[in-house]
Amino acid sequence: MSGETTDLIHPVILCGGSGTRLWPASRESFPKQFIPLAEAHRSSFQATAARVTNSNVFARPTVITANDARFIVAEQLAQAGLAADILLEPARRDSAAAVAIAALHAAAHQPDALVLILAADHVVGDDDAFAAAVQACSLGAKAGHIMTLGIMPTSPATAYGYIQPGDPLPGAAGQAGARVVQRFLEKPDAARAEGLIAEGALWNSGYFLFRADVILDEMRRHAPAVLAAAQASLSAAVRDLDFLRLDTDAFLASPQISLDYAVMEHTDRAAVLPVSFPWSDIGTWGALWEVSQQDANGNAVRGRVALQGTRNSLVHSEGELLTTVVGLDDVVVVATSDAVLVTSRQRGGEVKTLVEQLRARSEPEADAHRLMYRPWGSYQRIDIGSRFQVKRITVKPGARLSLQKHYHRAEHWVVVRGTAEVTVDERVSLVHENEAIYLPIGCVHRLTNPGKIPLELIEVQVGSYTGEDDIIRIEDVYGR
């Protein structure tokens, strides 16, 4: 639709968060927006992407994400049968830079394109109400307003910023409920939150809908350094496989600032549509409990869980772990294959500090998951000893690992599902289910899944050092 004028809305999903307050399920290496938390079978990123698929309303979405998350984004889109442009940020620069890039990207096709900014880690409880709200906002956006969604508060939350609405907008947008923004307010304390709600203030959701030309005008005025960095990094962007990689140096020149601080608090074009559908930014485990399905005792559980004398608690148990709680109320228990968190619904915000403490202690579980995603599939350590390590490796159909060698370990591969094509030095062989192959120390080897189903194999590494950094890559289809 290059150059073509259309009323379609360009959804832009901001997907760069790290979600450390939902540790240990969410970690730097696989943050919360990619984990099935509020729903059992899809992540909030997948739910967000699915929310903007109506092609009568929405153009092809754009996802802006961190470089390290690119293969996860691609994989989760493919899993959900969705397509999107994927823009890679070389670093975190908060939302203003990402929004500027999103607006420039849309404006390249149509200067007054409507752009909808969505956060990948929000939960929306009513897709129809959300769609109706977006339609209502588009009226105001077309008229030149920077529209936001203001959520009708259900509690005096101190974790959200608030918006004080003013007079109705003129015209159709105003008739649809949209109002001028009188003021953006920082996260309040509990007493102030009560007062704000009494005054009719709304939660600042972080959803925005605007014309590209309008936001770019306001950025030129209020955040020129952000805009300049965005322009430079986008025009020097390079395509890398299916991704558009923003130029690093240009991008790093942007100030690290949110759209609220950079533009919304200064512009006179801000408007808000009050909405009342269930919504959460799942900022803490306690917030997730609030939007989760609860049983008769108020417990929200996921995975293998057994409770006794326990109420109003969130228990999240991953994999095969059996997680039990006896005689406690209002607790949060999150158990993963390598780390366990126990806290209260109220104190869950302090998990961020805990993760900082773990980083300071160099605990690997602070940021890395045991299950590691790679462009070719995933691997997971299942055992480790003083001179050995065992991994389960899954390779997607058609995928291939890098051509590599190790200086300090030999490897035994036992195929337990599918078929592997294994290159060892000059020789290529097919290894089938229930067959094994040996890779001596120093051999140059490569693993490919030539088949139509995932390949699973058990790798037993034996040697004096089995760290990830003893991988000497000789060639890699993923450009690593």
Binding footprint of a second copy on the chain (CB under 8 A): 24, 304, 306, 308-309, 317, 320-328, 331, 333, 335, 338-344, 346-348, 350-351, 353-354, 357-358, 361, 363, 365, 382-388, 390, 392, 410, 412, 414, 416-417, 433-434, 436, 438, 456, 458, 460, 462-463
Q: Tokens 């919360």 identify what position? A: 32
111 versus 397: smaller Cβ distance to a second copy: 397
CB of 191 to a second copy, least distance (A): 22
Smallest separation, CB 23 to a second copy (Å): 8
If one counts every other C-beta atom within 10 angstroms of the C-beta of residue 396, the result is 17
Tokens standing for residue 258: 């949110």
Between CA 277 and CA 193 the distance in angstroms is 20
C-alpha–C-alpha distance, residues 270 and 261, integer Å: 13
The single-letter code of the amino acid at 335 is A
CB of 302 to a second copy, least distance (A): 14
Shortest Å distance, C-beta 148 to a second copy: 33
Distance of CA 447 to the CA centre of its chain: 29
Closest to a second copy by CB, 400 or 409: 409
Q: Which is nearer to a second copy, 2 or 434 (CB)?
A: 434
Helix, coil or strand: residue 329: strand
Q: How far is the CB of 304 from a second copy (least distance, A)?
A: 8
Q: Using an 8 Å Cβ cutoff, are 124 and 45 in contact?
A: no
Buried (b) or exposed (e) across 86-96, using 16+ Cβ within 10 A? bbbbbeebbbb
Q: Tell me if 18 sits within 8 A of 91, measured CB to CB.
A: no
Q: How many CB atoms lie within 10 A of CB 274?
A: 17
- Alpha carbon distance 411, 446 (integer Å): 12
Report, in Å, the least distance between residue 129 CB and a second copy: 35
Phi, psi of 300 (to 5 degrees): -110, 115
Q: Which is nearer to a second copy, 30 or 45 (CB)?
A: 30
Distance CA 269, CA 247 (A): 31
- Tell me the HSE value of 371 on the side-chain side, using a 13 A CA sphere: 14
Minimal distance, residue 112 CB to a second copy, in Å: 48
User: b/e per residue, 329-352, with b = 16+ CB within 10 A?
Assistant: ebbbbbbbbebebebebeebbebb
In whole angstroms, the minimum distance from the beta carbon of 344 to a second copy comes to 6
Q: Are 290 and 160 in contact (CB under 8 A)?
A: no
* CB nearer a second copy, residue 82 or residue 410: 410
Neighbours of 410 (CB within 10 A): 15
Q: How many CB atoms lie within 10 A of CB 169?
A: 22
Read off the tokens for 72. 């996860």
Minimum distance from CB of 334 to a second copy (Å)? 9
Nearer to a second copy, 458 or 477 (CB): 458
* Backbone region of residue 379 per phi and psi (left: phi > 0; alpha: psi in -120 to 50; beta: other values): beta
Q: Among residues 19 and 165, whose Cβ is nearest to a second copy? A: 19
262 or 335: CB nearest a second copy: 335
Q: 6 or 429: whose CB is closer to a second copy?
A: 429
Closest contact distance (angstroms) between CB of 189 and a second copy is 18
* 246 vs 415, beta carbon nearer a second copy: 415
**Strand duo 279-280 + 243-245: pairing:** unpaired
